Amino acid sequence: MAETSIEWTDATWNPVAGCTVLTAGCTNCYAMRMAARLDAMGQKKYKGLTRRSGGRAVWTGKIRLDEKSLTAPHSWSKPRKVFVNSMSDLFHPDVPADFIAKVWFSMKETPRHTYQILTKRPERMAEVLSKPPFEILPNVWLGTSIEDGRVLSRLDDIRRVPAAVRFVSLEPLIGSVAAGDLSGIHWAIVGGESGPRAREMKPEWVDEIESMCRRSGTAFFFKQWGGKNKKAAGRMLNGQTYDEMPQVQNSY
């Protein structure tokens, strides 16, 4: 477990490391840069997960399962919001369903924590979680990442996922998603891309999503404007911050 400065969570937990570039939202993925840095620091978990291409780190497609980390949440006494697999995608096709089940069991055994899982592969999430031994856990929130209108089909896929809370991360937002429908989605996170190669997020795209959230009753969380200096750009939208969270009842 690692404490994190990510605005919508408290900590990260990575029972899987490594991924594969899938769509445009992956192009400047922070996790690729971080994995390369950790590899250079000698952390075996991240060895060989990235390669250099075009002057930057890119996923090789290799996936590494970390069995030893599965019991880590049991040692965290303080209740936390936990972002699961910030350095991977739990529903990558090379992560076996039986390993996902082990992650599920660990989350079930620690109901004091709230787990937040994001995937760019919600179609596999829906397929895997619709079968035994998986069950809806009240402390597990399931979401998908959407960067622009070209991947709006992920909304339909995430709606098929059996979950106590369904959410969407619209970050990096690199295009309008106004054609989408947020019905059945409990929470929307919006953020611009950050880093040296950050792509622009237009204010009207954010306003569109905020309006969509009001129509569907979806909690709206504005994370950041992003850019090369995300701290300077801040996270104010129309003169205020938006830190809305889905309405859930904790089981501890």
Over residues 55-103, the pLDDT tens digits come to 999 999 999 999 999 999 999 999 999 999 999 999 999 999 999 999 9
230 Cα distance to chain centroid:
19
Given this model, what pLDDT does residue 249 score? Answer: 58
Q: CA 42 to CA 74: how far, in whole Å?
A: 27
What does pTM read for this prediction?
0.95
Q: Which of 174, 169, 147 is closest to 158 using CA atoms?
A: 169
Q: CA 198 to CA 202: how far, in whole Å?
A: 13
On the question of pLDDT at 44 being above 80, the answer is yes
Alpha helices in the chain (DSSP H): 30-40, 97-108, 122-129, 153-159, 203-216, 230-233
Alpha helices in 41-179 (DSSP H): 97-108, 122-129, 153-159
On the question of pLDDT at 235 being above 50, the answer is yes
Given this model, what pLDDT does residue 1 score? Answer: 72
Long-range contacts formed by 162-167: CB under 8 A, 24+ apart: 162/129, 162/130, 162/134, 162/136, 163/129, 163/136, 164/136, 164/137, 164/138, 164/139, 164/140, 164/248, 165/140, 165/141, 165/246, 165/248, 166/141, 166/142, 167/116, 167/141, 167/142, 167/143, 167/246
pLDDT category at 124 given cuts 50, 70, 90 is very high
CB 86 within 8 A of CB 35: no
On the question of pLDDT at 206 being above 80, the answer is yes
Give the chain's end-to-end CA distance (angstroms, integer): 20
Given this model, what pLDDT does residue 24 score? Answer: 98
CB 179 within 8 A of CB 152: yes
For the chain, the domains span 2-16+66-233
3-class SS of residue 38: helix
Q: What are the strands of the beta sheet with 219-224, ordered from one edge?
A: 2-3, 11-13, 81-84, 114-119, 140-145, 165-170, 187-191, 219-224
Q: CA 72 to CA 56: how far, in whole Å?
A: 32
Domain 2-16+66-233 has CATH 3.40.1050: no
Given this model, what pLDDT does residue 252 score? Answer: 38
Given this model, what pLDDT does residue 2 score? Answer: 85
Q: CA 88 to CA 32: how far, in whole Å?
A: 9
